[in-house]
Amino acid sequence: MNHLGFELEKIKIGSFDFTCCEGCQLQLANRESHLPDFLALLDIRNFREISSERLDDYDIALVEGSITRSDEIRRLKSIREKAKVLVAFGTCACFGGVNALKNKFPQEETIRTVYKDKLVETMPAAKISDFVTVDYSIPGCPVSKKEVEEVVVGLVTRSLVTLPKYPVCVECKQRLNTCLFDLGEVCLGPISRAGCDAVCPSGKTVCLGCRGPAEGVNYDSFTELVKEKGLSTEEMNEKLAFYNGFTDYLNHEG
């Protein structure tokens, strides 16, 4: 590939899943009309959902899922050693995701509920940056394929890769949506990172912050407004805990 005199190379990529639904990896195969161009940028070395070939020489590792077992830590670390760039891919990898909901309950209880008497090793669900250095994060439940395409193009062309720093409200207002607070709901849009094109509020479903906090979030004012509007702070805290993206805030509040 040649671009304006620069030789561009396909990126050698591996896609790996840990504790997750593999929905984010599946997103890689979405936007079918873009697939030929998208795949032309990639040299896929390891991706069990689309190929049985397993090669260990990859430059970029997309890591999906949270970490819930000790063997996962070892596997994650070995991926980190091989990859030049490691991408936390999806909400579970970035924050722990819905898996982290179990962290609120005693471990024995969660095992018994799901596996009955079978002995299963498990530990509190954690984000991958608790164990390895993460170079890029693509949050989202699931990730937005459009954003993945932009990141891949950025990596191939070695141009700047960024996520929006502002909250979902910007995109929500641009879609002329009715503010869900006006309908009496607690929506995390004002404190959650944009880039999803406000897909949930556009479908009249509140934002649960799957992309984590926006930058420079004003938690105090947000909590205040929930109270002032007579809405439930309990409900707010439940929503903040949903994807485990707001742990700094929740820990701070106790």
Q: Which residues make up the interface to another protein (CB under 8 A)?
A: 1-5, 8, 34, 37-38, 40-41, 149-150, 153, 156-157, 159, 165-167, 169-170, 173-174, 176, 178-179, 181-184, 189-191, 214-216, 218, 220-222, 224-225, 228
Q: Kindly report the number of other CB atoms within 10 A of residue 185's CB atom.
A: 17
Min dist CB 182 to another protein, Å, is: 5
CA atoms of 192 and 169, how far apart (whole Å): 8
Q: Which is nearer to another protein, 172 or 210 (CB)?
A: 172
Strand spans (E) along 60-216: 60-64, 85-89, 136-138
Q: Return all residues near 125 (Cβ < 8 A) that are at least 6 apart.
A: 19, 66, 67, 68, 92, 96, 97, 99, 100, 102, 103, 244
CA atoms of 128 and 45, how far apart (whole Å): 21
DSSP state of 6: E
Min dist CB 43 to another protein, Å, is: 15
Are residues 241 and 223 in contact, defined by beta-carbon separation less than 8 angstroms? no
- Nearest one of 87, 95, 68 to 188, comparing CA atoms: 95
Q: Which is nearer to another protein, 130 or 215 (CB)?
A: 215
Q: Which is nearer to another protein, 41 or 44 (CB)?
A: 41
Are residues 89 and 119 in contact, defined by beta-carbon separation less than 8 angstroms? no
Min dist CB 101 to another protein, Å, is: 26
CA 199 to chain centre: 15
Min dist CB 152 to another protein, Å, is: 8
Min dist CB 20 to another protein, Å, is: 26
Q: Which is nearer to another protein, 159 or 251 (CB)?
A: 159
Min dist CB 220 to another protein, Å, is: 7
Q: Which is nearer to another protein, 128 or 172 (CB)?
A: 172
Q: Which is nearer to another protein, 37 or 130 (CB)?
A: 37
Q: Which is nearer to another protein, 43 or 150 (CB)?
A: 150
- Nearest one of 102, 42, 54 to 79, comparing CA atoms: 54
Min dist CB 218 to another protein, Å, is: 5
Instruction: Classify strands 85-89 and 42-47 as parallel, antiparallel or unpaired.
Output: unpaired
Which tokens sit at 200?
Answer: 């949930």
